[in-house]
Amino acid sequence: MDLERQAPDGGARPTGGAQRGGSGVPGGRRRQRVSMADVARLAGVSSQTVSRVANGHPGVIGSTREQVLAAMRELGYRPNSAARALRYGQFNTIGVILFNLSTIGNSRTVEAIATHAATEGYAITLIPIDVPTQDNVLGAFTRMGELAVDAVIVIIEVHLLDAGTVTLPPGVHAVVVDSDAGDRYSVVDTDQAEGARSAVRHLLGLGHRTVWHVTGPQTSFAAQRRAQACRLALEEAGRPVPPPLHGDWSAESGYAAGLELAGEPDCTAVFVANDQMALGVLRALHERGRAVPGHVSVVGFDDIPDSACFVPPLTTVHQDFAEVGRRCVELVLRQIREGGTTPSGTDLVPTRLVVRSSTAPPR
Amino acid sequence: MDLERQAPDGGARPTGGAQRGGSGVPGGRRRQRVSMADVARLAGVSSQTVSRVANGHPGVIGSTREQVLAAMRELGYRPNSAARALRYGQFNTIGVILFNLSTIGNSRTVEAIATHAATEGYAITLIPIDVPTQDNVLGAFTRMGELAVDAVIVIIEVHLLDAGTVTLPPGVHAVVVDSDAGDRYSVVDTDQAEGARSAVRHLLGLGHRTVWHVTGPQTSFAAQRRAQACRLALEEAGRPVPPPLHGDWSAESGYAAGLELAGEPDCTAVFVANDQMALGVLRALHERGRAVPGHVSVVGFDDIPDSACFVPPLTTVHQDFAEVGRRCVELVLRQIREGGTTPSGTDLVPTRLVVRSSTAPPR
DNA sequence: CACCGGAATGTTCACGTGAACATCGGCCAC
DNA sequence: GTGGCCGATGTTCACGTGAACATTCCGGTG
């Protein structure tokens, strides 16, 4: 490979036209990068001057700059980020470790992270984890260390199976999404508790005596917090707390819970921990002839786009995933730039109750 | 060079404890990487020997290897991928350019790409595009060129606004998902036509006279192909072709189309181009008192997990996004490894009709 | 006992970039 | 006229790695 490159380099390259053919290579030859030295040779300057032009440094006279720019264009020069990274010890890349990209919330968050990072000149490197164990997270972290990454964002909404919380190597810039590691890392999260509370209060405010709850998987921090806030809100209001039903975020599990709820004659209001399970609940209630919101009111969580088209359109708690992603990037960049202390604490993104047609006063 | 480095290094570093603190840096000092030279010094060998151990090369005697490994562990050494990339001209990273990660299909595909790439030792670098113009794609491509990327996977299911198809710089390893660029690039895609055909045939087979169609956005290749295949299947069977209704993938737009369909008394069967719009159609039909599948049969496309919990559970065409992602990675890796010609052509992933309760013979 | 071969290890260097320093030339003040 | 200064450009070198080549040391062979 190097032989192949150096032969044309010394001989043919500086002759502009020939180089052009070599770089474009429609034929499918291995792409061969153009270096500063190539540009310098064509422009008749030193490679340092090319570097100065490339980085917009002052001290290059106009005519020289023009020559260099022309040479860059002609050769199709692009800086080599590996060399830059080596030089600077900085990579302009943020690593994202996550479990399960198939969740609407997670993919939204990742999208926001990527978009926001891009505007700041950072790229995103993604490492998915199939099974969320402490070992796997650490393994991903090691890979991140080997990769060109300046900081890491960890999106793992699930309790780690073999340890209570995520433990990261110290001294690494990191932000954790949706976890309770707030005392050790920067955490960004939706304000789960406030969201759940607003859902419960909405239902109580309509006149329901109490609110049943369908939880997410017990391994999920978010599910836990929503369930807890739901219970607290009921207790605060002095209402009885019905036993929670457990789901796993899937519509299927919501359906199962809904079938049970349909068998509870005094159940008039349900707060479901996410919209997909709410879809299952709606189906079950419909199949069992329990009208929504006539007999039973239902509130979801997430406000996925589809929820406006459920039958009936779902009252739900809106989560601002984009904002979560944005704040992650901001926090991480601040850490990188200030170079320093990992500020710990939790940054809560507020929610908003979206009232549609699945809730009404009890009859 | 070596003078400056050896002075502090030779002095302070090898003292294990101090170094440890320097590397871990809970205090917040800028993280300073441990290099091969550091390990070599501690182990009392040359850095080349460390390199040999790190890469599992033969020709290192057991005792030496052990010493080096111990030193690595003690210092927490991790190879610097930027330097490796510079050395090899290879980055072990695949770039993914995509428009809209919020689609279930896209996020699934990306997840599969990331997972599969990870098992092959490749990481994923993500660049999202907010508006799918040719310029933006080229811009993303330029960024990819600057970044450490060996190949690119382009996931853009939308016609580019200012040009018919995606045009990529020649001579770059690339795979395109869901596009018609099959004559110039490797393309991986779900077999849209076969899927649409199976949906239509299913409905005709149940005895429906013809099938109405709700399309996706007209800018989408996939939507186009599904619509075309739907029309062809009807024509082949000698059936009349009702005018297609146009949606934009969203449940909302499906709802609008559904309201129109509810006003067509002779409409007994609908093929909707994706499940989310089908959700809207179901809602509209329900609100207008058109029973599904009693009066109207509905078939979707995608088989998103929720569709099993629609009311009624949706008959739909299953898309194997994971397989699409897997094949993308395979193709791209083959191109990287064979170093050569971009094989063009289209690799079609088959679909599967999943029959649930939203279809029945006409009354 | 000189010599050879091969295994273990060390030394040199290049990858592309950019900071630090060196050089060169012109212009101004004395 | 000469010294000094400043602005434009060139030269050197290190970032961390690993291939290629060099060296050392050993046992074995003639």
Q: Could you write out the DSSP letters of every residue in A333-351?
A: HHHHHH------EEEEEP-
| DSSP 3-state of B320 | coil
Nearest by CB to A305, from B79, B146, B251: name it: B251
Tokens of A317: 């708690």
B341 pLDDT exceeds 70?
Answer: no
Across the interface, whether the CB atoms of B83 and A86 are under 8 A apart is answered yes
Weakest mean pLDDT among B21-25, B64-68, B110-114: B21-25
Give A35-70 pLDDT, tens digit per residue: 999 999 999 999 999 999 999 988 899 999 999 999
Cite the DSSP H helix spans in chain A. 2-10, 16-24, 36-43, 47-54, 62-75, 81-88, 104-119, 134-146, 192-205, 221-236, 251-262, 275-287, 321-338
A26 pLDDT exceeds 80?
Answer: no
Residue A184: pLDDT band (50, 70, 90) is: confident
Residue A20: pLDDT band (50, 70, 90) is: very low
Nearest to A151 by CA among A110, A82, A94, A81: A94
Give the amino acid at B250.
Answer: S
Question: What percentage of chain B has pLDDT greater than the value 90?
Answer: 59
Give B167-206 pLDDT, tens digit per residue: 766 667 888 887 777 677 889 999 999 999 999 999 999 9
- Mean pLDDT of the region B97-110: 89
A363 burial type by CB count under 10 A (0-12 exposed, 13-18 middle, 19+ buried)? exposed
Question: Looking at chain B, how many residues does it have?
Answer: 363
What is the structure's pLDDT at B23?
32
Across the interface, whether the CB atoms of B26 and A145 are under 8 A apart is answered no
Tokens of B162: 């200012």
Question: What percentage of chain A has pLDDT greater than the value 70?
Answer: 85
Weakest mean pLDDT among A348-362, B65-79, B291-305: B65-79
Weakest mean pLDDT among A239-243, A291-295, A308-312, A343-347: A343-347
Does B11 or B158 have the greater pLDDT score? Answer: B158
Does B27 or B273 have the greater pLDDT score? Answer: B273
From the CB of residue A205, how many other CB atoms can be counted at a distance below 10 Å?
12
From the CB of residue A95, how many other CB atoms can be counted at a distance below 10 Å?
27
Does A257 or B143 have the greater pLDDT score? Answer: A257
List CB contacts (< 8 A) between A79 and chain B: 146
CA distance A195 to A229: 9
What is the structure's pLDDT at B16?
31
Do β-strands A123-129 and B123-129 pair in parallel, antiparallel, or remain unpaired? antiparallel
Across the interface, whether the CB atoms of B85 and A251 are under 8 A apart is answered no
CA distance A150 to A309: 42
Give A104-158 pLDDT, tens digit per residue: 889 999 999 999 998 888 889 898 888 888 888 878 877 776 777 888 999 988 7
Answer for B79: CB within 7 Å of strand D: yes
A3 pLDDT exceeds 70?
Answer: no
Distance, C-alpha A171 to centroid of its chain? 22
Angle at B184 between CA B178 and CA B190, to 5 degrees: 20
List CB contacts (< 8 A) between A146 and chain B: 78-81
What is the structure's pLDDT at B10?
31
B244 burial type by CB count under 10 A (0-12 exposed, 13-18 middle, 19+ buried)? middle
Nearest by CB to B130, from A104, A115, A313: name it: A115
Distance, C-alpha B228 to centroid of its chain? 25
Answer for B90: CB within 7 Å of strand D: no
What is the structure's pLDDT at B50?
94
Q: Are A104 and A85 in contact (CB under 8 A)?
A: no
Angle at B20 between CA B10 and CA A331, to 5 degrees: 120
Residue A13: pLDDT band (50, 70, 90) is: very low
CA distance A106 to B114: 15
Give the amino acid at A169.
Answer: P
CA distance B357 to A322: 36
Answer for B55: CB within 7 Å of strand C: no
Nearest by CB to A25, from B27, B171, B251: name it: B171
Q: Are B31 and A172 in contact (CB under 8 A)?
A: yes
Give the amino acid at A96.
Answer: V
A42 CA: distance to closest CA in chain B (Å):
21
Residue B1: pLDDT band (50, 70, 90) is: very low
B156 CA: distance to closest CA in chain A (Å):
15
What is the structure's pLDDT at B102?
83
CA distance A225 to A210: 19
CA distance A126 to A96: 5
**Taking CA atoms, what residue in A is nearest to B343?**
A28
Give B152-169 pLDDT, tens digit per residue: 999 988 776 666 666 766
Answer for B45: CB within 7 Å of strand C: yes
- Mean pLDDT of the region B35-53: 93
What is the structure's pLDDT at A89?
84
Question: What is the number of alpha carbons within 13 Å of residue B16 lying toward its C-beta?
Answer: 7
What is the structure's pLDDT at A132?
81
DSSP B180: S
Answer for B88: CB within 7 Å of strand D: yes
Give A212-229 pLDDT, tens digit per residue: 999 999 989 899 999 999
What is the structure's pLDDT at A237?
97
CA distance B194 to B179: 16
Which of A252, A306, A337 would you mutate first to test chain B, the one with the most B CBs within 10 A?
A306
For the entire predicted model, the pTM comes to: 0.85
- CA of residue B87 to C1' of nucleotide D19, angstroms: 10
**Taking CA atoms, what residue in A is nearest to B147?**
A81
Give the amino acid at B349.
Answer: V
CA distance A357 to A335: 44
Q: Are A67 and A45 in contact (CB under 8 A)?
A: yes
CA distance B287 to B242: 23
Q: What is the mean pLDDT of chain B?
A: 85
| DSSP 3-state of A104 | helix
What is the structure's pLDDT at B185?
83
CA distance A149 to A85: 10
B357 CA: distance to closest CA in chain A (Å):
13
Residue A2: pLDDT band (50, 70, 90) is: very low
Residue A204: pLDDT band (50, 70, 90) is: very high
- CA of residue B62 to C1' of nucleotide C3, angstroms: 29
- CA of residue A76 to C1' of nucleotide C26, angstroms: 35
Q: Are A289 and A265 in contact (CB under 8 A)?
A: no
Q: What is the CA radius of gyration of chain A?
A: 28
E-strand ranges in chain B read 93-99, 123-129, 151-155, 174-177, 186-190, 212-215, 245-246, 269-272, 297-302, 315-318, 345-349, 352-354
Across the interface, whether the CB atoms of B340 and A93 are under 8 A apart is answered no
Tokens of A238: 């002095």
Tell me the backbone φ, ψ of residue B350, rounded to 5 degrees. Answer: -70, 160
Nearest to A186 by CA among A351, A338, A301: A338
CA distance B1 to B3: 5
Q: Which nucleotides along chain D are within 7 A of a protein C-beta?
A: 7-20
Answer for A90: CB within 7 Å of strand D: no
Instruction: Please say whether the dihedral angle defined by the alpha carbons of residues B259, B260, B265 and B271, taken in this order, is positive or negative.
Output: negative
CA distance B145 to A270: 52
B213 burial type by CB count under 10 A (0-12 exposed, 13-18 middle, 19+ buried)? buried
DSSP B220: B
CA distance B323 to B166: 23
Tell me the backbone φ, ψ of residue B93, rounded to 5 degrees. Answer: -140, 140
Nearest to A310 by CA among B139, B284, B23: B284
Do β-strands A297-302 and A269-272 pair in parallel, antiparallel, or remain unpaired? parallel
CA distances from A130 to A98, A166, B112 (A): 9, 16, 11
- Mean pLDDT of the region A160-186: 73
What is the structure's pLDDT at A178?
79
What is the structure's pLDDT at B6?
31
Q: Are B262 and B290 in contact (CB under 8 A)?
A: yes
